[in-house]
Chains A and B, each alone.
Chain A
Amino acid sequence: MNLLDHLPVLAVILPLLAAPLCVLVGRERIAWLISLTAAVASAVVAALLLRQVSNTGSLSYALGGWSPPWGIEYRVDLLGGYVLLLVTVIAALVLCYARRSIEREVIAARRVNFYAALLLVQAGLAGITVTGDAFNLFVFLEIASLASYALVSMGSDRRALSAAFNYLVMGTIGATFILIGIGFLYMMTGTLNMQDLAARLPAVADTRTVQAGFAFLTVGIGLKLALFPLHQWLPNAYAYAPSVVSVLLAATATKVAVYALIRFVFSLFGHDWAFATMKLDLVLLPLAIAGVLISSIIAVYQCDLKRLLAYSSVAQIGYMLMGIAIVSVTGLTATVLHLFNHALMKGALFMALGAVMYRIGSVQLKDMAGLGQRMPLTMAAFVISGLSLVGVPFTVGFVSKWYLVLAALEQGWWWLVAVILASSLIALIYIWRVVEVAYFQPPRPSTMPSTISSPIPLSRVEEAPLSLLLPTWVLVAANLYFGIDTSLSVGIAAAAARSLLGTELGAGL
């Protein structure tokens, strides 16, 4: 057996082993190097995996040689490989970015632990995408969640503690619901392997237990992915966490939760049962629409830009849920596409804000005045990814919107088209508020922000350092590249959507 056969487990094991190594070494710089190496290595692994999966179809890997359904099976299909690549690449970029960024935002004594926790989040998220075992998925979800509670609490603002606590309480409720749901399924079928579950569920599908399990799972995952109105933990967690953590959580954590929802609904229960019998769309669609509209409007009134982006994230998650609730190949394509595209835009936006935080120690709107001249590259990155959020042609946002609107049109749902486009225009409003302040308001010297570190006079604010700019611009470039050459992202999303909706589960590719 050569190393290539172990790729699925490598993507998880690398960061999982690197995390304790960081703590054992205990030196900040070396810990950073170790985590960066682990992250880059798992990104390479993910790329290889995706290539293999798109060439030969789904991969199955028996953990420890125990063959499924008795042992834990890792199963990578196109969708899983795609999300895994997204998670690992973002994590690698985030680690490039982290070293400079946390200099200003995390106290020195916690930095080694910070890297360890970051790696654990990555391991957990990667695990969710590769595992083929329902209980294993829960375990990985908890690894990622617990580590991210710790990361949020490391924010320099004292309010980070209450935000993390809030996140912990809500997240744990969600996790409990998921566990109860999986337990119910296990009760009825006696198996935890997803493929096995999918094969045995139809026989017991009309029992109260399975239906309750389905409900518990949906609500639990809904909490994790910040389904409106279960999103209350998210704005504070994103706003007070260190910038790096906001990038990581916004770009990957909620996306992986959406992945989990797709996995359970389409692969385990099957869309026929979930939508035709259980009427999941009747729940998802109204909540998605409410989330899209209400959160976008709330975002317009935010003065803290990280909180603004957090509300915008809740709205964007609404788009993904809309795609799911439309239940068509185009709709699911839009969801999978937006999952990828939104990670690119929000990652770039939060990174740009992190650079601003690094230089001026604040992300309040009023402190951004004049930054367009002081930090031209950072703000240009913000504007371009902001336009992507609005959905301007040649950015990824346009591609997502194109498919989502097309999916709504195919159903003849004009009101949904109106909702989608109205919320894009609201996005234009909140992005443009920032642009006007940053480019057209003269800097106000009197209001020097003084949250952390030594205050820098605004006149001396310079462009962010290269190690912050470079990862930001990699993501901005990806925003443009995948907005122009869509063959990869659309191709994979469409193929994944077809296979999820195609025949019943197990058809693979």
Chain B
Amino acid sequence: MTAPMLILAALLLPLLAALLIGLCHARPQLRDAICLASALLLPLLVLPLVEPVLAGDRPSLMLGQLLPGLDIRFEVEPLGLLFAAVAALLWPVNTLYSIGYLRANREAHQTRFYICFAVALSSTLWVAYAGNLLTLFIGYELLTLSTYPLVVHKGDRRSIRAGRVYLGVLLASSIGLLLPAILWTWHRAGTLDFVPGGILAGRIDGWLVGALLLLFVYGIGKAALLPIHRWLPAAMVAPTPVSALLHAVAVVKAGVFTIVKVLLYVFGAELLLHEASSHWLLYVAGFSILVASVIALRQDNLKLRLAYSTISQLGYVVLAAAILAPLSVAGAALHIAAHAFGKITLFFAAGAIYTAAHKTRVSQLNGIGRQMPWTMVAFSIAALSIIGVPPTAGFLSKWYILMGAFEAEQMLPVLVVVISTLLNAGYFIPIIYVAFFKQADKKADKQAGNPVEKPAVHPVDNPVDKQAVNPARTSIDEPDSHGEAPRLMLLAMVASASLTLLLFLFPALPLGLATAIMEPG
């Protein structure tokens, strides 16, 4: 297949899958098989593009003209391809996990779930491949709308309220701030194409640069930069595979990806370095990293702790991109991938713990490593990656971010990264410690096993029927012996944890893409 065909096929495959999934509504086995098959096929449509792109080629596809002078156009460049590859690799893993999770927890509306998931994936690729701001904006909005049914999947009062926050914040920021930013850019530059070096140089100067940047950065609500982060913790009511989609594969990654794109290809490094009015971004990103880490430290609910950890990790990407040194930009791109692999594993583990043991709080996890060794080993690897310990992917990205900061002689980012690494360790190491080295707390366990238990302060997963939920449980009398989660979920976790390690051990391709972003030509 030619490169433009590959682009089109990658965009259409998930949509086709959604259609087939809808048609197979009555036959769950076939439906799940279609999900998995199309998910496995997707990487084959994305990865062949790596070689030509590394060779300097920029395959593009033009779908048509939306408005005079504004095309729906796709162009694959290294950063977008890296993002697309991450999403394409994680879709099959997530599908595997979703099938296991939805079946084990007897979730309703499974067909709707898979359809929306596939559409969200297509929108993600749309964002990744977009060749201009308008095309990107369309994919961005479609992603918001297609993930809304996933967030409110349970349909109860609490998820509807969370859905309202989710949709409200994301659409309000994108329509209220991002859209005028795009229009302003169009008005000033007369083009919305992504061009290396930017399109705004010489078209706008002084404090206006900072103002436009403000519209962009806060308009891209998906990047969850403080204080536009409320939607992310709210969306934690969704089933765990959805949280994984939001945090690792699609939504927040689309956000930071868009910010990096805008910084590099709309403003251009030169303009931003030159204009002092845009330098506030570094401080805002640093602030976001540290504050979110501190909040994460104080969360007892496991998924909420992971959510705030995500907010702080997204700050890394923005911070690294805002340094604007070639090495730090490569670090930002790598961090999108590294954090995706790490965070998806962490969410998988949280979901597995919930499915097997019905535990949602960190304080309930004493000794759980002995019950669920595979889960907790995967969790530990991912946690180490988020902290940035070798031999995991997180080390690699942090290394590049720090090198970029030194190269640019920016000491503030270095300080932020160091402090936040300590904070990361502070909220992850205790979990690993208690899981493996502490005795299981009998009373807490009994309480957790009790079917009429009131949800915690920030209750997350609220099962339909707690007793019917646990196929892995071997004996009902003994609350201790819940064992591991269903095998499909374990398989997914092992896969994503190995990706974390593989990215460190074989970094050639992703590193090649990441460093090609700032290379001229």
Contacts and interface: CB of A to CB of B under 8 A. Distances in A.
Interface of A: 387, 390-394, 399, 401-402, 405-406, 409-410, 417, 421-422, 424-425, 428, 432, 436, 440, 484-487, 490, 494
B152 interface: yes
B178 to A, nearest CB: 10
B141 A393 contact: yes
Contacts of B145: 387, 392
Given A402-B67, A428-B175, 5 more contacts: A392-B145, A393-B142, A405-B179, A417-B180, A424-B175
Contacts of A421: 175-176, 179-180
20 contacts: A391-B175, A393-B137, A393-B138, A393-B141, A394-B142, A405-B180, A409-B187, A421-B175, A421-B180, A424-B175, A425-B172, A425-B176, A432-B164, A432-B167, A440-B152, A440-B155, A484-B64, A486-B65, A490-B68, A494-B68
B433 interface: no
A485 B164 CA distance: 31
Contacts of B168: 428
Contacts of A391: 175
Contacts of B19: none
Contacts of B65: 486-487
Contacts of A410: 187
Contacts of B175: 390-391, 421, 424-425, 428
A487 B155 CA distance: 40
Interface of B: 64-68, 137-138, 141-142, 145, 152, 155, 160, 164, 167-168, 171-172, 175-176, 179-180, 183-184, 186-187
Contacts of A393: 137-138, 141-142
A410 B172 CA distance: 23
**Which 10 pairs from chain A and chain B are nearest by CB?**
A393-B138, A409-B187, A421-B176, A405-B183, A440-B160, A393-B141, A440-B155, A417-B180, A425-B172, A424-B175
Q: A interface, by DSSP: helix, strand, loop or mixed?
A: helix
Contacts of B172: 425, 428
Nearest to B155: A440
Contacts of B141: 392-393
A380 to B, nearest CB: 12
A339 B187 CA distance: 24
Contacts of B179: 401, 405, 421
A399 B152 CA distance: 29
A436 B160 contact: yes
Contacts of B67: 399, 402, 486, 490
Contacts of B164: 432, 436
A406 B67 CA distance: 12
Contact of A409 (B137, B138, B184): B184
Nearest to B177: A421
Contacts of B64: 484-485
Contacts of B180: 405, 409, 417, 421
Contacts of B184: 409
A366 to B, nearest CB: 16
Give the most central of A387, A394, A402, A417: most B CB within 10 Å. A402
A440 B175 CA distance: 25
Contacts of B155: 440
Contacts of A428: 167-168, 171-172, 175
Nearest to B211: A414
A424 B174 CA distance: 12
A309 B17 CA distance: 36
Nearest to B138: A393
B152 A425 contact: no
B454 to A, nearest CB: 23
A223 B185 CA distance: 38
Nearest to B144: A392
A473 B443 CA distance: 59
Contacts of B186: 406
A392 B148 CA distance: 14
A487 B68 CA distance: 8
A425 B171 CA distance: 8
Nearest to A487: B65
Contacts of B138: 393-394
Nearest to A439: B155
B107 to A, nearest CB: 16
A73 B187 CA distance: 42
